[in-house]
Amino acid sequence: MSKDEIAEIVKVAAAEVLARKDEILDEEYDARYHDVNLLMKNYRKLKEAGIGTYILFQETYHKESYEHLHPTGPKSNYCYHTEAMDRAMEGGIDDVGCGVLFGLNLYDYDFVGLLMHAEHLEAVYGVGPHTISVPRLRRADDIDPDQFDNGISDELFAKIVAVLRIAVPYTGLIISTRESKECREKVLELGVSQISGGSRTSVGGYAEEEEEDSSQFEVSDTRTLDQVVSWLLDMGHIPSFCTACYREGRTGDRFMSLCKSGQIQNCCHPNALMTLKEYLMDYASPETKAIGDKLIEKEVLNVPNEKARAVVLKNLRLIEQDNRRDFRF
Ligand code: SF4
């Protein structure tokens, strides 16, 4: 996606937030009716601007707790917030990501709420969530975890990840750097498929060195991206930087049918190898590059289709020798 396209998406989203802010301040305004139309229109604009996955966390599905947390402001309307995915789907965005913040409320309520949300999207639109994020309450600028007594243990957290994996096998499970290295290691084995590395949680944190007390959330895993990639390689995982499906228009029910039949693996595996190779060429330390190249050499032999394997081998050579980029299935 080009910088202009990204700028367009940010512009549409920012205009929506500003529009809603003014409306909510007007007590005479029928927020629900107008907001639905307005937002539908803007979801369409986001889709036209080329948005990939639209991710919105519910925080908690428990209405009273939600309203207690958001007494005023653009997020204060529980129903409006809970129905955002429906408006996004109806506005043409067929790739959405859900998540709750475990610890705000009783975990079992939110866990069931999350599963029911996924079930609802699948039943109504034929497409469940592309991703589910599983953050836990951590210390932040405006959150003191000691004020909440619904925190969940590492063991319970691992169980939640395992059951999610079984309940929605087609969905990417995301865990953030707010979890420790040990915890991330454990849940990776249980079904987490997407992790971040070298995250910054303060505004402008990627552009400048982050000050210790400027972040929105405490980050437990503070390793650099290179360290995270090297760690994944050591454990035998293939770190993939692939975003091919969005860019090939493989979204919504088209994506889901490939996912549920397992055929998506014919794209994911070769794409993982080629995008990892690009990362190794452009950003990795010499040590990480050495481990990664070794893994690619071994893994490329596991591409089952002979023709596809030949294409991957050719592309890997072009990435290394001709500095070519952006190959994908
Ligand atoms: S091909 Fe790439 S974008 Fe599509 S599901 Fe696989 S890893 Fe994700």
Is 232 touching ligand 1 by the criterion CB < 6 Å? Answer: no
Amino acid at 202: S
Is 271 touching ligand 1 by the criterion CB < 6 Å? Answer: yes
Q: Are 201 and 219 in contact (CB under 8 A)?
A: yes
Residue 18: pLDDT band (50, 70, 90) is low
Q: How far is the CA of 266 from the centre of ligand 1 (A)?
A: 10
Is 268 touching ligand 1 by the criterion CB < 6 Å? Answer: yes
What pLDDT, on a 0 to 100 scale, did the predictor assign at position 141? 53
Q: How far is the CA of 219 from the centre of ligand 1 (A)?
A: 27
Q: List every span in the chain annotated with CATH 3.20.20.70.
A: 3-223
pLDDT in tens, 94-116: 889 999 999 889 999 999 999 99
Is 131 touching ligand 1 by the criterion CB < 6 Å? Answer: no
How far is residue 229 from each of residues 99, 196, 224, 319, measured CA to CA in Å? 25, 10, 9, 19
Mean pLDDT of all residues in 131-142: 78
Q: Is the pLDDT at 30 greater than 70, yes or no?
A: no
Ligand 1 atom nearest to CA at 265: 6
Residue partners of 292: CB distance under 8 A and separation at least 6: 229, 233, 276, 277, 279, 280, 284
Ligand 1 atom nearest to CA at 242: 2
What pLDDT, on a 0 to 100 scale, did the predictor assign at position 48? 82
Which SS3 state, helix, strand or coil, does residue 140 take?
strand
Q: Are 132 and 97 in contact (CB under 8 A)?
A: yes
Selected residue with higher pLDDT from 51 and 125: 125
Amino acid at 282: D
Q: Is the pLDDT at 322 greater than 70, yes or no?
A: yes
Is 259 touching ligand 1 by the criterion CB < 6 Å? Answer: no
Q: Is the pLDDT at 279 greater than 60, yes or no?
A: yes
Residue 47: pLDDT band (50, 70, 90) is confident
pLDDT in tens, 235-247: 999 999 999 998 8
Q: What is the CATH number of domain 3-223?
A: 3.20.20.70
- How large a percentage of the chain has pLDDT more than 90? 54
> What tokens were used for 52?
């990939």
Q: How far is the CA of 243 from the centre of ligand 1 (A)?
A: 6
Q: Are 108 and 266 in contact (CB under 8 A)?
A: no
What is the pTM assigned to this prediction?
Answer: 0.81
What pLDDT, on a 0 to 100 scale, did the predictor assign at position 249? 84
Is 240 touching ligand 1 by the criterion CB < 6 Å? Answer: yes
End-to-end CA distance of the chain, in Å?
A: 17
What pLDDT, on a 0 to 100 scale, did the predictor assign at position 300? 98
Mean pLDDT of all residues in 271-279: 98
What pLDDT, on a 0 to 100 scale, did the predictor assign at position 149? 77
Is 121 touching ligand 1 by the criterion CB < 6 Å? Answer: no
Angle at which helix 286-299 crosses helix 265-282, to 10 degrees, equals: 150
Ligand 1 binding pocket mutation candidate from 173, 245, 258 (most atoms within 8 A of CB): 245
What pLDDT, on a 0 to 100 scale, did the predictor assign at position 278? 98
Q: How far is the CA of 256 from the centre of ligand 1 (A)?
A: 11
Is 244 touching ligand 1 by the criterion CB < 6 Å? Answer: yes
